[in-house]
């Protein structure tokens, strides 16, 4: 491969990457500006309309709009929108698709530039979609894990505020002021929904459905039962906090015991791909028989078996607590 080809691939990939990063940075700035405006008291400052309306270029707006329409037709249940909301990623489904397509073009161009094989380029394009979903899943899982770790202490803090004589809603507000994200973000949304006239328990139920955390669903169900039959809510929350804290300790022990199996799955899954790329770079002609004739079938069969093996290992080490 000539130096000009390398330079062209690097420039194209770098340009698309900078475009995606710039678009995300602009989106984050827009969200922060909108949040600052919404926090202002009524009549304190006149806000021009263009400061809150999305200002995109024509090309970006058309691409994201077209991608959004395609997503709406293919994803009628709104699973992508739900994932973006759970991951708290401030982009719309159409924008996420455009960024993923740009990343796929970059990976495909780099793969083709390194190996000079069109199949590797196509695998790079497909890998972008896989990596995008993995990124969303890991972001959601990481956010859930932080929430589960903070949740028992939040319940204890709410229960202590109730014992001190505060109302349930005021106790949640005080907890939001003293807790870090993501717990403060989710409960702040609950407080905002109640400020718009929604019942507190209904807002908590929507939070439980949005987070998809079993501990939260149990707590909301216990609160609803307590409101129907009566009793001291502070004692109930203290009991639930101790129970959830004990489950969290068991969950951590299970994570430690299954760490070796999870690492083995990652190593065994990434090793064939790493060897394929390394051999293609060090000795470009060595893998040529695998990219013609029956070689495609062997590569496809190997990929399927590796995927099945990684799936079996992950299934074995996944213990539901």
Could you read off the pLDDT of 165-216 as tens digits, one per residue?
A: 999 999 999 998 888 888 998 999 999 999 988 899 999 999 998 888 889 9
What integer pLDDT is reported at residue 223 of this predicted model? Answer: 92
Q: Where residue 215 sits, what CATH number does that domain have? A: 1.20.81.30
CA dihedral for 87, 90, 96, 102, sign (positive or negative):
negative
- Total of domains in the chain: 3
To which residue do tokens 């859930």 refer? 144
Same domain, 1 and 102: yes
Instruction: Give the percent of the chain with pLDDT over 90.
Output: 24
Assess contact for 201 and 224: CB atoms under 8 A. Answer: yes
pLDDT at 140 over 70: yes
Same domain, 41 and 100: yes
pLDDT band at 52 (very low <50, low <70, confident <90, very high): very low
Instruction: Report the C-alpha gap between 83 and 140 in whole angstroms.
Output: 8
Instruction: Report the C-alpha gap between 128 and 139 in whole angstroms.
Output: 16
In the predicted model, what is the mean pLDDT of the chain? 80
pLDDT band at 34 (very low <50, low <70, confident <90, very high): low
How much of the chain is helix, strand and coil, in % rounded to 5? Answer: 80, 0, 20
pLDDT at 43 over 50: no
Mean pLDDT of all residues in 73-79 = 73
Same domain, 305 and 223: no
Same domain, 232 and 264: no
pLDDT at 286 over 90: no
Same domain, 190 and 272: no
- Considering 116, 135, 152, which residue would you say is the last residue of a domain? 116
What integer pLDDT is reported at residue 273 of this predicted model? Answer: 85
For residue 17, give its domain range: 1-116
What integer pLDDT is reported at residue 44 of this predicted model? Answer: 46
pLDDT at 60 over 70: no
Mean pLDDT of all residues in 44-69 = 54
- 59 lies in some domain: yes
- 75 lies in some domain: yes
Query: Can you list the positions of beta strands (E) in 115-165?
Result: none
What integer pLDDT is reported at residue 65 of this predicted model? Answer: 64
């Amino acid at each position: 491969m000539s130096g000009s080809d390398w330079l062209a691939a690097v420039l194209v990939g770098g340009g698309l990457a900078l475009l995606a990063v710039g678009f995300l940075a602009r989106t984050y700035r827009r969200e922060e500006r909108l949040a600052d405006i919404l926090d202002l008291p009524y009549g304190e400052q006149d806000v021009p309309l263009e400061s809150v309306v999305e200002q995109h270029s024509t090309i970006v707006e058309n691409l994201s709009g077209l991608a959004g329409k395609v997503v709406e037709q293919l994803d009628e249940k709104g699973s992508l929108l739900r994932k973006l909301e759970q991951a708290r990623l401030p982009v719309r489904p159409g924008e996420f698709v455009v960024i993923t397509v740009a990343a796929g073009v970059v990976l495909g161009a780099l793969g083709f530039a390194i190996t000079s094989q069109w199949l590797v380029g196509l695998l790079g394009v497909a890998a972008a979609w896989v990596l995008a979903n993995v990124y969303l899943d890991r972001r959601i899982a990481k956010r859930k894990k932080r929430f589960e770790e903070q949740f028992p202490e939040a319940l204890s803090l709410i229960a202590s505020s109730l014992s001190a004589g505060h109302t349930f809603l005021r106790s949640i507000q005080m907890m939001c002021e003293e807790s870090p994200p993501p717990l403060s973000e989710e409960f702040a949304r609950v407080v905002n929904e109640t400020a718009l006239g929604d019942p507190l328990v209904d807002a908590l139920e929507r939070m439980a459905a949005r987070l998809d955390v079993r501990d939260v669903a149990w707590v909301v169900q216990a609160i609803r039962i307590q409101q129907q039959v009566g009793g001291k809510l502070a004692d109930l929350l203290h009991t639930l906090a101790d129970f959830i804290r004990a489950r969290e300790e068991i969950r951590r022990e299970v994570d430690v015991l299954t760490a070796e199996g999870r690492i083995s799955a990652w190593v065994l899954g990434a090793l064939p791909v790493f060897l394929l790329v390394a051999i293609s770079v060090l000795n470009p002609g060595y893998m040529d028989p695998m990219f013609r004739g029956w070689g495609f079938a062997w590569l496809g069969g190997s990929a399927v078996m590796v995927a099945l093996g990684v799936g079996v290992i992950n299934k074995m080490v996944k213990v539901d607590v």
